[in-house]
Amino acid sequence: AQDCQVANIQVMQNFNKTMYAGTWYAVGKKDPDGLFLLDNIVATFSIGEDGKMTATAKGRVIILDNWEMCAEMFGTFEETPEPAKFKMKYWGAASYLQSGNDNHWVIDTDYDNYAIHYSCRVVDTDGTCLDSYSLIFSRHPTGLRAEDQPTVTQKKLELCLLGKYRRVPHTGELISTKRPQF
């Protein structure tokens, strides 16, 4: 049963960041309040010589209500006593992009095909999450393999987010220049 308590959320056991490194395509997303990344979201994680994880991410965003553009984002990860729970500091290549500090939890992954990310930004007074976002990652831009779908559905349920995700399209039409959307 799901009690939806943020403190009780199970994360990936014995998380191995080296196996996690490389490129992941977001194929599903539960948006936070104040949605930022829309679609064509691709994240690449690297482990530096210092053993620290960093990431670059690209995605299509809408800023100032009607400017559609490709955002180039950077993230650095601070480790915690639980290997799958990180604190992520993130910022954009341009000053008008979002920046901040988020939790970054790896809920489950098989390293080769799928990964489930979760971030609670605001914990409510009752211990449930008031503002969360979650990305479903695939190593394949075409989406999840059929055999991984039951696992992902079960984890969405455990996160109390089943039915709250949308599909993240990969149209390959990302352009870096700012253009108005009429």
**Residue ranges in contact with ligand DAO by CB under 6 A:** 31-32, 35-37, 43, 55, 57, 73, 75, 90, 133
In the complex with ligand DAO, the residue whose CB is nearer, 10 or 23, is 23
CB of 31 to ligand DAO, least distance (A): 6
In the complex with ligand DAO, the residue whose CB is nearer, 5 or 101, is 101
The four Cα atoms 93, 98, 101, 104 give a dihedral, to 10 degrees, of -80
CB of 23 to ligand DAO, least distance (A): 11
Residue 18 burial by Cβ neighbours in a 10 Å radius (0-12, 13-18, 19+): exposed
Q: Residue type at 158?
A: E
In the complex with ligand DAO, the residue whose CB is nearer, 110 or 131, is 131
DSSP 12-50: -TT--HHHH-EEEEEEEEE--SS--EEEEEEEEEEE-TT
CB of 50 to ligand DAO, least distance (A): 18
In the complex with ligand DAO, the residue whose CB is nearer, 25 or 148, is 25
Q: If DSSP codes are grouped into helix, strand and coil, which group holds residue 157?
A: helix
CB of 154 to ligand DAO, least distance (A): 23
Distance CA 39, CA 27 (A): 9
